[in-house]
A and B are shown apart, each in its own frame.
Chain A
Amino acid sequence: MASLRTSFRSLAQTPRRFYSGAPTAAAKLNLPIDYKTTPILHHTSASLSNTSEYPAGATSKRLNLYQAINSALRTALSKSDRTIVFGEDVGFGGVFRCSMDLQTEFGSDRVFNTPLTEQGIAGFAIGAAAEGMKPIAEIQFADYVFPAFDQIVNEAAKFRYREGATGINVGGLVIRMPCGAVGHGALYHSQSPESLFAHIPGLRVVMPRSPAQAKGLLLSSIFEHNDPVIFMEPKILYRAAVEYVPNEYYTIPLSKAEVIKPGKDLTIISYGQPLYMCSSAISAIEKTMPGVSVELIDLRTIYPWDRQTVINSVKKTGRAIVVHESMINYGVGAEVASTIQENAFLRLEAPVKRVAGWSTHTGLSYEQFILPDVARIYDAIKQTLEY
């Protein structure tokens, strides 16, 4: 089912016309995210090298998210002849430019267009992985992955388990897809179906929040694990998020969360683009409620997830909020909140709160009201602290 594939630039950019109504001149919370100053991106190479996960002393350059993905793909294609990159419109660089120039550099045997068939792309990738390749398949939009659901759920996820003592698996298989809302993608260019995949044992579900993180997580998915990985890229960040990214090969471990900002009074758990809104809401609350400090955790891998980091944090703070963009019903927030409740019940000072998309579809005119925003996160922090 691929698409209407409106993709491209307009879906990776802030819309010029706000279908959901721009915030008023008096707005203090729901302002456009300022990616140039947000504390959760590495705006200097020094801040990058101070982070233990990145290679010490490495050279780096400023890249946006699609350039960082491109850098990771180029690194992977250079590192191993077994790496192949393919999908719809991948040959000319992909509708979001993630595979730009790769066909010229590595040839059309290893970087190529496929016909328009997601089930075919996923099945093709599984077969190639089963015979020892490292296929990196692109689904043009997460909204169009559903024809491939059978291949992913019934085949990729169960491959090793089914093969048993034959020892055959589909390690190295990565299925990349742009996901998430941009403000004008409506029903079929906005979805974030991570919880559907996270429900399936056997799949690793990863969502980076930034360029440097994306490169390390993608290379880790390709080379450091023998499990199939669903790699979801928030498309609104492709051009918006820019930071210093190491030039060389490096990996960031999967299934390990990152404490972005330490705090003592409340823990916010999120992943992907909403982390930027969480960061804004935390800045606002720490200004209006002096003395309060909020801990912010990026799950990075949604499943299998880093339960201990989250539980330890909530045991310390006693309060927790989970934030995600996709619908609240049966979402990632439900799993995280339940795990916190089971493991830190006696330390909890307030119910675990979820801030997520409402239980509806992403209607074009209503996106701003359906998806979480800074005001809702701010309000949830306030309510949880004052409970």
Chain B
Amino acid sequence: MLITRETKMSLKILARNGVRSQHISTARIIPARRWSSSISQQPGSDSVRFPGAVNSKFTSKMAFLKASDLPAIPTYRVMDSDGHQVDKARPAPDVTNEEALTWYKNMLSVSIMDVVMFEAQRQGRLSFYMVSAGEEGITVGSAAALTPDDVVFAQYREAGVFQQRGFTLKNFMSQLFANDNDAGRGRNMPVHYGQNYPRMHTISSPLATQIPQAAGAAYALKLQDLQNPNRDPRIVACYFGEGAASEGDFHAALNIAATRSCPVVFICRNNGYAISTPTLEQYRGDGIASRGVGYGIDTIRVDGNDIFAVNEAMKEARRLALSEGGRPVLIEAMSYRVSHHSTSDDSFAYRARVEVEDWKRRDNPIIRLRKWLENQGIWSEDQDKQTRDEMRKAVLKEFAAAETEKKPSLRDAFSDVYEEITEEQREQMAELKRILETYPDEYDLRPYKDGIKGLD
């Protein structure tokens, strides 16, 4: 689609000769200034001055870069799997005991909810569920570094982000049972949570669509915060998995975020599997982190089972994202999906049970922080048992309440498609109402708030 200067010249000649060229004028034409800046190659210079690669040294030695020759990007960690600080020389994590306990309880709560809801789905009490087992450290630890004004775009395995940012058990259960208290108006599949403030956009099932949106949202925050210097600057945090990073949207997002200097932190949860597809069939190269460097984005890889490492990396990423007028940052947080992809999946069809059990035994973000808390002398087995019991009871209480709550009104089947219900939709609602009245035995309207009146 690009038209070079030479082509433009020949088009002019064609135009002079009477050939219509106006159809071509809508094509994208390289701006002239880009060409003029490239011509200043100094005679005898030892480096390239092409516009697409500045400061590249000329070489007479032909050598292809081999990804396998480069050292793997290191993985940042603070504490080991026994809950001890690895580098005794560095200061202790900048976290109060209260904060660390809150994180622990938030991870625990999500994990207990996961166990209850997974089982509830197996019993047929809700249609679908996705656990986030093994990834609670990434979600809770990163969300803890955000301010309430920051904006989140998540994928679907980030219950910990919602938990850490104030989403209540009632909020979770109302969404899971699609009842009248669900902010999503009973429209979305379970685990597609959403909240206005602190803002976490409602989960969309299609993968990676949220990543370029996060770049645009960050750009919006940047412009608004520039226009209103009195407010604290905000960032966007964007979550996705390593599978989603294969989508075109991922590449588009990183590139546009870099070129527009957007204050966005991309957090890739690399858990080893996209449903059945292991990372070896998902990508070659050094994980997702290596791609950030390619887009000119500051990048770090962290141990996702180490909540302190995640939190420190996120705090620093947030600072970087707001520095120098704004820029994107990429965090690749490593973990292992110890769960099935979803309640619809049986992962032992494509991976060995022993592999999963091995990971479960070897490492886990919740157990690691628990060990750290115990090492600090601020947590005990008794406290742990009591807390787990209380949480389980709280989950079951909200579960029972949400399950019996009415569904939203039938009107919400049609509302919000457009700002106003259209004239055509009104006719359809009237026709639906006529059908429901003509064939009352064929429909059960009792679960719906306002019954048939919902269509008035």
Tell me the A residues contacting B by CB distance below 8 Å.
1-11, 15-17, 19, 21-24, 26-30, 88-89, 91-93, 95, 112-113, 115-120, 143-144, 146-147, 184-189, 328-329, 358-361, 363-366, 368-370, 373-376, 379
Known: A22-B444, A116-B243, A370-B413. A187 touches B188 (CB 8 A): yes
B445 nearest CB neighbor, chain A only: A21
- Number of B residues near A (Cβ < 8 Å) is 63
Q: Which residues 193-233 of B have a CB within 8 angstroms of A?
A: 204-209
Which residues 411-454 of B sit at the A interface, judged by CB distance below 8 A? Answer: 412-414, 417, 422, 424-425, 428, 432, 435, 438-439, 441-448
Q: B441, A26: Cβ atoms under 8 Å?
A: yes
Given contacts A19-B127, A184-B128, A329-B424, A363 and B342 within 8 Å (CB-CB)? no
Within 323-361 of B, Cβ neighbours of A (below 8 Å) are at 341-345, 349-350
Contacting residues, chain B, for A17 (C-beta < 8 A): 124-127
B25 CB, min distance to chain A CBs, angstroms:
21
Q: How far apart are the CA atoms of A146 and B205 in the complex, in Å?
A: 13
**In the complex, are the beta carbons of A117 and B186 less than 8 A apart?**
no
CB distance from A142 to the nearest CB of B (A): 12
Query: Within the complex, what minimum Cβ distance (angstroms) separates A373 from chain B?
Result: 8
The chain B residues found within 8 Å of chain A, CB to CB, are 124-128, 130, 156, 178, 185-189, 192, 204-209, 243-244, 246-249, 274-277, 281-283, 341-345, 349-350, 407-408, 410, 412-414, 417, 422, 424-425, 428, 432, 435, 438-439, 441-448
Task: Knowing A120-B248, A366-B412, say if A4 contacts B189 (CB, 8 Å).
Answer: yes
Minimum CB distance partner of B157 in chain A: A4
B276: chain A residues at CB < 8 Å are: 89, 91-92, 95, 113
Let me know if B439 and A29 touch, CB within 8 A: yes
Provide the bound-state CA to CA distance between A369 and B445, in Å.
10
Within the assembled complex, what's the spacing in Å between the Cα atoms of A185 and B128? 9
A28 to chain B: closest residue by CB: B441
Is B438 a contact of A359 with CB atoms below 8 Å?
no
Which residues of B lie under 8 Å from residue A119 when comparing CB positions?
A: 247-248
Q: Is the CB of A359 within 8 A of B425?
A: yes
| CB neighbours of B447 from chain A (8 A) | 21
Q: CA A186 – CA B126 in complex, angstroms?
A: 13
Select A88's contact among B125, B275, B422, beta carbons within 8 Å.
Answer: B275
Query: Measured between C-beta atoms, what is the minimum distance from B368 to chain A in Å?
Result: 28
Cα A172 to Cα B276 with chains together (Å): 28
Decide if A117 touches B442 in the complex (CB within 8 Å): no
Contact status B444-A5, CB under 8 Å: no
Query: When A and B form their complex, which 10 residue pairs have the shortest distance between CB atoms, in order from nearest?
Result: A16-B124, A1-B206, A188-B205, A366-B413, A365-B186, A363-B187, A4-B205, A115-B246, A184-B127, A26-B441
Task: Offer 22 A-B interface pairs, CB within 8 angstroms, sorted by A.
Answer: A2-B243, A4-B130, A4-B205, A4-B342, A5-B341, A10-B128, A23-B443, A24-B442, A88-B277, A89-B276, A92-B276, A115-B277, A115-B283, A119-B247, A189-B189, A359-B422, A361-B187, A361-B417, A364-B186, A364-B187, A364-B188, A368-B443
Pick from A189, A329, A369, A374: contact of B413, CB below 8 A. A369
Chain A residues, Cβ within 8 Å of B187: 186-187, 361, 363-366
Q: How far is the CA of A15 from the CA of B189 in the complex (A)?
A: 13
Chain A's closest residue to B179 (CB) is A365
Residues of A within 8 A of B445 (CB): 21
Is the beta-carbon distance between A95 and B247 smaller than 8 angstroms? no
Give, as a whole number of angstroms, the nearest-CB distance from A185 to chain B.
Answer: 7
The residue in chain B whose Cβ has the minimal distance to the Cβ of A144 is B206
Which B residue's beta carbon lies closest to that of A23? B442
Q: Is the CB of A5 within 8 A of B342?
A: yes
Q: List chain A residues, Cβ under 8 A from B442.
A: 23-24, 27-30, 373-375
Expressed in whole angstroms, the minimum distance between the Cβ of A146 and any Cβ of chain B is: 8
Asked whether A93 and B417 contact (CB < 8 A) given A6-B189, A19-B178, the answer is no
CB-based contact A6/B128 at 8 Å: yes
Of the candidates A10, A21, A329, the one whose C-beta lies within 8 Å of that of B343 is A10
How many angstroms from the CA of A195 to the CA of B356 in the assembled complex? 43
With A and B bound together, what is the CA distance between A21 and B178 in angstroms? 13
Interface residue from A3, A360, A366, A374 paired with B207 (Cβ < 8 Å): A3
Q: Report whether A189 and B126 are in contact in the complex, using a CB–CB cutoff of 8 Å.
A: no
